[in-house]
Amino acid sequence: MRAARLIKMVLLLQSRVSMTAGELAQELEVSERTVARDVLSLSEAGVPVYADRGRSGGYRLIGGYRTRLTGLGRSEAGALFLSGVPSALREMGLSDAASAARLKVSAALLPELRDAAAGAAQRFHLDAPAWYQEPEPPALLPAVADAVWDDRRITARYLRKDKEVARELEPYGLVLKAGVWYLAARALPPSGEGPADPGVAPAFRVYRVDRFTAVAADSTRFARDTAFDLPAFWEERAEQFKRSILRAEVVLRLSERGIRQLPYVTEPAAAREAVAAAGEPDGQGLRTVTLAVEDAEVAYAQLLALGPEAEVLAPAALRDRFAAAARRTAALYS
Q: What is the mean pLDDT of residues 215-243?
A: 88
Residue 50 has pLDDT above 50, yes or no: yes
Residue 291 has pLDDT above 90, yes or no: yes
DSSP H stretches of helix in the chain: 2-15, 21-28, 32-44, 74-80, 86-92, 95-108, 116-121, 141-150, 230-245, 256-265, 268-276, 296-303, 316-333
Between residues 288 and 45, the one the model is more confident about: 288
pLDDT of residue 17: 75
Q: What is the mean pLDDT of residues 315-327?
A: 95
Dist. CA 117–CA 131, nearest whole Å: 27
pLDDT of residue 269: 87
Dist. CA 81–CA 98, nearest whole Å: 9
pLDDT of residue 81: 47
Q: What is the mean pLDDT of residues 155-169?
A: 89
Report which listed range, 16-30, 49-63, 132-146, 215-229, is most confident. Answer: 215-229
- Give the closest residue to 103 by CA, choosing from 38, 179, 157, 27: 27
Residue 94 has pLDDT above 70, yes or no: no
Q: What is the pLDDT of residues 106-142, one digit of tens each?
A: 655 555 555 555 555 555 555 666 676 666 778 899 8
